[in-house]
Structure 1
């Protein structure tokens, strides 16, 4: 009785099929409960469903809203990633087809003649010329008792999911690149405006100095210094124009547009800064597409171990074939012309020089590799969030100090100009105040730009956007 039960259990297991893939577990990672750089200033976190699409709308910039969708539709790199995803889906469907039986048909209507000198022709028993007519249907099904096919399907499905996540990761990265290039360009627009105003101011100062020289109040040295300041400001303005052109070309490429036909009008767009909710480190694993892609590759590698181990066992398939065969075309479908075959087929490799053992070792090594890659991706993802949180925090403090410095530099310049008119100080004091005030203005604009870039970096590090209402912080000095 015990022996019968054992045989019944074994037979049931064979009929149900089994798998030699290890039980899958997502690689363990150590994640803290909160971000270190978030500090006490972290904003309240939304609990709504995560929305990765249209995250750039938190900036409320119509031009950016117009450009960003072009990344997904016109960027050639995204189009290539879409094709890779389609290719992965096709591979998945190819693997899935092995789960189903194959059905084939064969038909022949031939006239044959054998050589009369053919060995073993048996003379009159087998005529030299004869007709051969055949119609046959053949059914074949791989029983997949060891889970080889099912694990191949699982691996290909995980790979196609990884390709989808790769697509999402690339799209997010390029969208972030576009936003960064856009804000750098707008920062350069602000710098260009600062320099344009400065050039006008320096022109007036030069006219004043020339007039004072004509009256014998100022010297040629004062005029030369005023001319130097004006020329230097003009040179800086040209450098800003060159940098702006490069950013404009980068935006054109990201939107799939020729740089020769692309242009953006100058705009003052650095007034507001969105507040980005960072969430908790644990949610990062669900939001970042690159983390999801790394995890799917671990799952695929795990399934490939099952494929490799199944090779140690025989391939068993069930075949059914039937049809009609006759030397006359009509009547054809009669009982004497029937033929059929039914039965299993077993194929087993007896010796392969260690090939199966090596393939199994390769599959296990790949699992270890992709597991390590997954942990590395998680660690780098947390680092990117912490980096951008730190930037947001410290750049905000720096911006407040720089605003104070800007107010002081403007006051110093006003005092020096007033005292220069009164003959209290030389023009060198004016030049020093002018240089300090201009550089402070440019640094202020640079900080505004860097703070916007930090928000873009944080949104990208978090895996995209969210659908909670955004708050804005006034960045105007």
Structure 2
């Protein structure tokens, strides 16, 4: 028996695992980006970079930290990681023996009034005591348990990558919403300035009418233009309130007003990071998640193939039993047994074969999903780089336009005050100036938003505030997502 046990244990140690070992699919990637940034900073360690702090707004930093701590989507994702960590521990435990213990104590009294009398000297009262331990251990000769463990750990790592993707999305949304809120504040200020300018034009029209140089029609036109501008203010205030409410939800709090730090013009744009396409694929949580899903599907092929082979288990039973408590723990009271069990499916109607084909089909699907994630990552990064470059060019052109329109508005007002121009020229110049200022503001806002998109596309900052729920999981090939 000892030789048999030793042989079985040796077979377990050298047993092969069914199914293919994981290999990352071949996926050609470009060596450089299609739209390189000429003034881009080298990407050092994007994964741990709190890039939003580069904006130089302490209020924004506090809002991001609040979102990392209280956002409901992040909390749900962390809870899901903990769930899959428990499942991985459950799968890991299948490789260990299972030991159960049972104890019992009974006292019996026999009836002395039976139809058949008790035999002579038969005790009427008796007792029985028993304690036993049972051991069961499945020998993983074909790697079913190992492949199952590998699949569950890959599931766990994929779930954690999903949490990191959600974290990155939440951080990006907080920064984007805050930038848009600052832009809305500036738009409201421009509207209020526009109303004040038009009211001043209306006052000048009234002065000219009083002096006989203007008409009542011009006065009414100027007043109508001022009221038109004033009517846009409540709508803009509604947009600000909606943006504050959306930001509050991202922060994990009820809808409420949100304090600001710097103005949009005072924000310091972070440097444009520049990394090679291959480094982006190493950092993007969605790409890493797709690879972990592929790894899990690959391992489950081995699980399905292992079902074709018999299951071998070792069992053991040991304990003590006695009718006398004083002789309970003695050699004579000891009992036990050792055995082995082999279970083999003789006929299953093709179930195992169908399971293998299904697992292989799922693995092929995840190969394509991984390649799609890679291409999507490259596309999003390229789009973000193009967006930023063209936004900068647009902002420069709009800056020159605004200077020209500002000079035009000033000239039109001076001509009107001197009696050389018309009210229509003044109002038209004011409208052009307001439109140019808003376009310049939009470009400035888009510049900041494009940087947020770049950092999000490059997978920056997604390791911030990572939970420690993975510490209990044993190290395995699946624990290193990009190996």
Q: Scaled by the length of structure 1, what TM-score is found? A: 0.88
Whether 1:263 aligns to 2:263 is no
Q: Structure 2: how far apart are the matches of 1:59 and 1:113?
A: 86
Which position in structure 1 is the counterpart of 2:427? 431
Listed as ranges, the gaps of 5+ residues in structure 1 are 1-8, 116-122, 468-477
The structure-2 alpha-carbon separation of the partners of 1:362 and 1:270, relative to structure 1 and needing over 3 Å to count, comes to farther
Q: Is the 8 A contact 2:47 2:459 kept in 1?
A: no
How many residue pairs end up in the alignment?
A: 449
| Partner SS state of residue 336, structure 1 | coil
Whether 1:299 aligns to 2:295 is yes
Whether 1:17 aligns to 2:12 is no
Deviation readout 1:126-165 (Å, 9 max, x if unpaired): 9999754322122221111111111111111111111111
The structure-2 alpha-carbon separation of the partners of 1:31 and 1:197, relative to structure 1 and needing over 3 Å to count, comes to same
Q: CA RMSD in A?
A: 2.5
Which position in structure 2 is the counterpart of 1:34? 32
Q: Structure 2: how far apart are the matches of 1:11 and 1:183?
A: 63
Which position in structure 2 is the counterpart of 1:73? 69
| Partner SS state of residue 176, structure 2 | helix
Whether 1:166 aligns to 2:140 is no
Q: Structure 2: how far apart are the matches of 1:128 and 1:265?
A: 88
Q: Is the 8 A contact 2:41 2:272 kept in 1?
A: no
The structure-2 alpha-carbon separation of the partners of 1:82 and 1:311, relative to structure 1 and needing over 3 Å to count, comes to same
Deviation readout 1:5-44 (Å, 9 max, x if unpaired): xxxx9996555121012121112222101111225x2524
Q: Structure 1: how far apart are the matches of 2:158 and 2:443?
A: 38
Q: Structure 1: how far apart are the matches of 2:452 and 2:13?
A: 55
Q: Structure 2: how far apart are the matches of 1:182 and 1:49?
A: 25
Q: Structure 1: how far apart are the matches of 2:461 and 2:12?
A: 49
Which residue, 101, 106, 109 being the options, matches 1:105?
A: 101
Q: Is the 8 A contact 2:316 2:337 kept in 1?
A: yes
| Partner SS state of residue 146, structure 1 | coil
Which position in structure 2 is the counterpart of 1:333? 329
- After TM superposition, give the deviation of residue 330 of structure 1 in Å: 3.7
Which position in structure 2 is the counterpart of 1:202? 198
Q: Structure 2: how far apart are the matches of 1:114 and 1:353?
A: 54
Matches of residues 308-327 of structure 1 in structure 2 within 5 Å?
308-327=304-323
Q: Structure 2: how far apart are the matches of 1:393 and 1:325?
A: 84
Deviation readout 1:186-214 (Å, 9 max, x if unpaired): 01111112222222222211111111011
Q: Structure 2: how far apart are the matches of 1:289 and 1:10?
A: 42
- After TM superposition, give the deviation of residue 343 of structure 1 in Å: 2.0
Q: Is the 8 A contact 1:42 1:277 kept in 2?
A: no
Which residue, 49, 56, 67 being the options, matches 2:52?
A: 56
The structure-2 alpha-carbon separation of the partners of 1:265 and 1:220, relative to structure 1 and needing over 3 Å to count, comes to farther
Which residue, 18, 40, 43 being the options, matches 2:40?
A: 43
The structure-2 alpha-carbon separation of the partners of 1:265 and 1:24, relative to structure 1 and needing over 3 Å to count, comes to closer
Matches of residues 448-459 of structure 1 in structure 2 within 5 Å?
448-459=444-455
Which residue, 399, 402, 406 being the options, matches 1:403?
A: 399
Which position in structure 1 is the counterpart of 2:221? 225
The structure-2 alpha-carbon separation of the partners of 1:11 and 1:89, relative to structure 1 and needing over 3 Å to count, comes to closer
The structure-2 alpha-carbon separation of the partners of 1:15 and 1:195, relative to structure 1 and needing over 3 Å to count, comes to closer
| Partner SS state of residue 322, structure 1 | strand
Which residue, 402, 418, 435 being the options, matches 2:414?
A: 418
Q: Is the 8 A contact 1:270 1:449 kept in 2?
A: no
| Partner SS state of residue 19, structure 2 | coil
4+ aligned runs moved over 4 Å, structure 1:
9-15, 111-115, 126-132
Q: Is the 8 A contact 1:61 1:269 kept in 2?
A: no
The structure-2 alpha-carbon separation of the partners of 1:307 and 1:114, relative to structure 1 and needing over 3 Å to count, comes to farther
Q: Structure 2: how far apart are the matches of 1:86 and 1:25?
A: 27
Q: Scaled by the length of structure 2, what TM-score is found? A: 0.87
Which residue, 273, 278, 292 being the options, matches 2:269?
A: 273
Q: Structure 2: how far apart are the matches of 1:346 and 1:266?
A: 71
- After TM superposition, give the deviation of residue 396 of structure 1 in Å: 0.7
Which position in structure 1 is the counterpart of 2:467? none
Whether 1:236 aligns to 2:235 is no
- After TM superposition, give the deviation of residue 224 of structure 1 in Å: 2.0
Q: Is the 8 A contact 1:325 1:337 kept in 2?
A: yes
The structure-2 alpha-carbon separation of the partners of 1:113 and 1:357, relative to structure 1 and needing over 3 Å to count, comes to farther
Deviation readout 1:379-433 (Å, 9 max, x if unpaired): 1111111111111111111111101110110111111112222222221111111
Matches of residues 127-206 of structure 1 in structure 2 within 5 Å?
131-206=127-202
Which position in structure 2 is the counterpart of 1:287? 283
Which residue, 443, 447, 451 being the options, matches 1:447?
A: 443
Q: Is the 8 A contact 1:52 1:463 kept in 2?
A: no
- After TM superposition, give the deviation of residue 375 of structure 1 in Å: 1.2
Q: Is the 8 A contact 2:12 2:139 kept in 1?
A: no
Which position in structure 1 is the counterpart of 2:208? 212
